[in-house]
């Protein structure tokens, strides 16, 4: 069966969107990239099952808040904010579908007088992406409050419940394998006073605005922090602040951020990344590891 025939089979029952020749700039916060020959926006696990039946293992990117597309891609899955967009709260436990953004989840926690998500309020990613990469900020990570999550296995077509102890999660790595797509997460928080929770959220947001660039297209931190020194400090010490390649430049505010001024290509960004890694290794003998995903 040809790809087009498989697409036609999908269209008969698919709840979400199937796009052809989709502009990937609209699916990356860096706003660069080529086109996807076929792009799927599933709305439900049933949609994932249909994709798995027809195509087997495919790539999932969440909402693109940390994804840089090199160029064109044959087929890809995007779990957008419309994917089973639901949050339920029982006592001090929050269960969320993968497509819910962390700021929305933090707000829901606040509205229900639950503390534990305040540090994560400024992270733009979704629950699914946050679990996959063990997202964090200000010393707090998603796995600090995660008690259970469900994944969809594209190779078997099964949905499986897992606990953090089932995976080897690490700093900025949730320990999941290719073909394992997060579909929901359950978080254990604590009761708190709404005023105190709101104050913490405000302070963390203000701290982020003060230290990180808020304008332009960006994927957030480009590199993981090595154990000894923050990546931003290493990059700044190598004199990269303000360095520009094409339409991409290293932020003057935080050197671990690369900004697209609106005219950058992915190649501009990748060239800057290579320059930074080379110079940091040359000066400090430290190999910077990417925090973003390059496809």
Q: Which residues are catalytic?
A: 172, 221, 291
Residues in Cβ contact with 200 at an 8 Å cutoff, skipping those fewer than 6 apart = 115, 118, 119
Look at residues 291, 295, 275 and name the one whose alpha carbon lies nearest to residue 130: 291
Residues in Cβ contact with 168 at an 8 Å cutoff, skipping those fewer than 6 apart = 175
Residues in Cβ contact with 114 at an 8 Å cutoff, skipping those fewer than 6 apart = 89, 92, 94, 189, 190, 191, 192, 197
Residues in the chain: 295
């Amino acid at each position: 069966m040809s790809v087009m025939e498989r697409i036609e089979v999908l269209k008969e029952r698919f709840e979400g969107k199937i796009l052809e020749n989709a502009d990937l700039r609209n699916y990356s916060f860096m706003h660069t990239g080529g086109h996807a020959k076929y792009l799927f926006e599933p709305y439900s696990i049933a949609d994932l099952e249909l994709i798995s039946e027809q195509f087997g293992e495919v790539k999932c990117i969440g909402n693109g808040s940390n994804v840089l597309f090199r160029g064109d891609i044959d087929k890809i899955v995007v779990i957008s904010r419309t994917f089973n967009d639901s949050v339920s709260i029982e006592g001090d436990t929050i269960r969320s579908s993968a497509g819910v953004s962390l700021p929305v989840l933090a707000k829901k926690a606040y509205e229900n007088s639950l503390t534990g998500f305040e540090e994560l309020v400024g992270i733009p990613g979704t629950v699914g992406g946050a679990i996959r990469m063990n997202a964090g900020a200000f010393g707090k990570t998603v796995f600090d409050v995660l008690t259970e999550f469900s994944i969809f296995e594209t190779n078997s077509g099964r949905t499986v419940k897992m606990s953090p102890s089932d995976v080897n999660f690490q700093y900025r790595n949730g320990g999941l394998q290719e073909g394992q797509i997060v579909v929901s997460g359950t978080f254990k928080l604590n009761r708190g006073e709404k005023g105190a929770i709101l104050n913490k959220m405000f302070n963390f947001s203000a701290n982020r605005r003060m230290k990180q660039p808020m304008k332009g297209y960006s994927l957030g931190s480009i590199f993981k922090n090595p154990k000894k020194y923050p990546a931003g400090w290493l990059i700044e010490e190598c004199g990269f602040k303000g360095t520009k390649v094409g339409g991409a430049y290293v932020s003057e505010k935080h050197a671990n951020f690369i900004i697209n001024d609106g005219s950058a290509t992915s190649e501009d960004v990748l060239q800057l990344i290579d320059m930074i890694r080379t110079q940091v290794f040359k000066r400090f003998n430290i190999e910077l590891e990417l925090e973003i995903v390059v496809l």
